[in-house]
């Protein structure tokens, strides 16, 4: 899970413009939010490796994963390709992969950090 978080955090810094498109227009400071969530992913990746912080980090990661899911749904509805920062992405079929994957991440987080 830690490696996955570090990998996805890199995307926040490499594909900032495209990830900014994933945030609805009504929300200000999109670029700052993308950088902030990338930094949060790095902090969570470190936190789950520290035994004294695993449970707290696990719960925070579960909350984080639930909070970013709407951005993924919004991006699919708008056909956003975050890597190219265009509106010609896969659209709703992307959710057939993303939502089950998000469930896997949630379960993985729970059983690797909280459930002992």
What confidence tens digit (pLDDT) does each residue in 40-68 have?
A: 999 999 999 999 999 999 999 999 999 99
Q: Is the pLDDT assigned to residue 36 strictly greater than 80?
A: yes
Determine the Cα–Cα distance for residues 29 and 109; give it in Å rounded to an integer: 29
Q: Say if residue 116's pLDDT is above 80.
A: no
33-69 core/surface letters (b: 16 or more CB in 10 A; e: else): bbbebbebbbebbebbeeeeebeebbebbbebbeebb
Kindly report whether the global pTM for this prediction surpasses the value 0.85: yes
Residue 8 is predicted with a pLDDT of 95
């Amino acid at each position: 899970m830690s490696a996955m978080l570090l990998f996805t955090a890199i995307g926040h810094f490499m594909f900032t413009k495209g990830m900014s498109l994933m945030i609805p227009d009504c929300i200000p400071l999109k670029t700052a939010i993308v950088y902030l969530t990338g930094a949060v992913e790095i902090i969570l990746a470190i936190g789950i490796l520290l035994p004294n912080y695993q449970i707290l980090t696990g719960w925070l990661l579960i909350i984080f994963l639930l909070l970013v899911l709407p951005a993924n749904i919004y991006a699919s509805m708008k056909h956003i390709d975050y890597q190219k920062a265009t509106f010609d992405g896969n659209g709703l079929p992307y959710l057939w992969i993303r939502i089950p994957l998000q469930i896997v991440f949630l379960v993985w987080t729970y059983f690797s950090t909280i459930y002992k």
